Structure 1
Amino acid sequence: MISIQNLEFKYSKKQPPLFHNLECELQAGSIAGLLGKNGAGKTTLLKLMVGLLFPTEGKVNIMGHEPAKRQPSLFQDIYFLPEEFYIPGVSIGSYVKANSGFYPRFDQTLLQQLISDFELPETKSLQKLSYGQKKKFLISFALSTKCRLLVLDEPTNGLDIPSKSVFRKVVAGSLDEDQLVIISTHQVKDVENLIDRILMLENGKFIMQKDIFDISALLNFTTSSSPEGENILYSEMVPGGYKVITPQANGGSNVDIELLFNAISHGTEKMKDYVQ
């Protein structure tokens, strides 16, 4: 589905590369979470994937195509939902009529279901909707395209608590096996139960590319009354004690992605070496 090889990118000749020899392989049938600190290049990488930016060196291959060539046969199967967006002052029906034809697999029935799930007003001008309502509509439209590659940049920003729950439900329930979803987010708790592969970006490289299943088999995420212990790889103070990460010894456990991110970003070399 996606193959990134020896990718280098810089915004100008005077700047050092944002990415250097970046490598990544992603397959259909999964939801990947792209994590990283501010300025790590997450949005830039997403734009390279969807053909809005072009590699300085190396290759980005999406379903056998180079996005930089901007071929219609590829773009009818990619949908990118940016964090910042513009919506014209038309109704939902008018927007769908004008744009759904670009996506051969567009599912009108699914769209109507998602509009109902998100409780969106169909006749009201999109410009008059709140930011959260606009985001809910764009999420609904994105999922209804049934594109094989869906790229969502901070999709839960602006959503209220009930809508985040609906978001998780509709994403989990409306995807086909030939689709790949990439979610870039800082709101890890909003998507924790959706993600089945983690990509962690830092200093122009992936410092982690692992399936949740493999992480669960490797590490145990639990609580403790003390941050000290021979097997504790990382700890964080929380009310009533500590969240800790230890080597896995008793089978799989639920992965605390936020704790894992902090452990990889701020933890000891022992933690980083153990994961890698």
Structure 2
Amino acid sequence: MQTVGRFAPSPSGRIHLGNILCSLLAWLSARQKGGRVVLRIEDLDTARCPRKYGEQMAVDLAWLGLTWDEGPGVGGPDGPYEQSLRTAMYEQALEKLENMDLVYPCFCTRAELHAASAPHREDGQVIYAGTCRNLTPEQIAERRKDRAPALRLRVPDTEWSFTDGHMGPYREKLARDCGDFLLRRSDGMFAYQLAVVVDDAAMGVTEVVRGSDLLDSTPRQLYLYHLLGLEPPTFFHGPLLLTSDGRRLSKRNADAGLDDLQDRMTAAEILGKLAYVAGFNPSAEPRSAEQLLADFDWAKVPREDIHLPVGLF
């Protein structure tokens, strides 16, 4: 079976070095196996991700030489390739889960979810306590008068495990470690967990490469693949890029954005330096994505996050 990889950026601003590294790893991993690459724009939150940003991301990736076989500007059999245009598919998946009696309305506010007494993971994420899990029909009807509910998926008290292609074995007990998770927000926007599973399956993705910050999302997604009767891909979670003082790169802080880098460097210079800090370019010399194929090896990529050396970019 041919490998199908993907880039799935969220266009909330110009891409930065962290986004570029993730896209480069995905491109190299798929291309080295003779595979195809899909570009999908994850613009579920249209307020934060206006269309112009998605269009700019496609331009930026093309400028970097990270080409794709299906997606915006190329087309393909599994479009549209913008999540904002794919909500009918998410509705169908949600309906299937509702018919299994696994979905329930949640009326908890953000403030209530983040209350000091609520259980939190080490990374600060809230572990949903099941507050609305057993509301009666009468209670649901009464609460609907005050606010529209979000929709949550009931999770089992069982452990889900998988072996990541880069990080190795990972396991999580859903009820203990994340709780019942969102499928759709109270404003009607579908949640990432559901959308990404539906889209990767519909687009025939066999290999998902993304940042290690999403490693703990994988058991939830594997549960959804199981419930929806879909074949899951293999997963590779790569290291995150950090500033020299240990802060994660962000579009909000305009960290190492491509708009600034393009003024000073060629695409080959950017990719060569990124590959160097990621362990598969012997030096920081300029190299195109195609030229990096010969030296790419997941075994060379660090599992721990990468601090960008001062002055390299």
In which range does the TM-score fall when normalised by the shorter chain?
0.3 to 0.5
TM-score normalized with structure 2 length: 0.30
Q: Which has the higher strand share?
A: 1
- With structure 1 as the length reference, what TM-score do the two structures score? 0.32
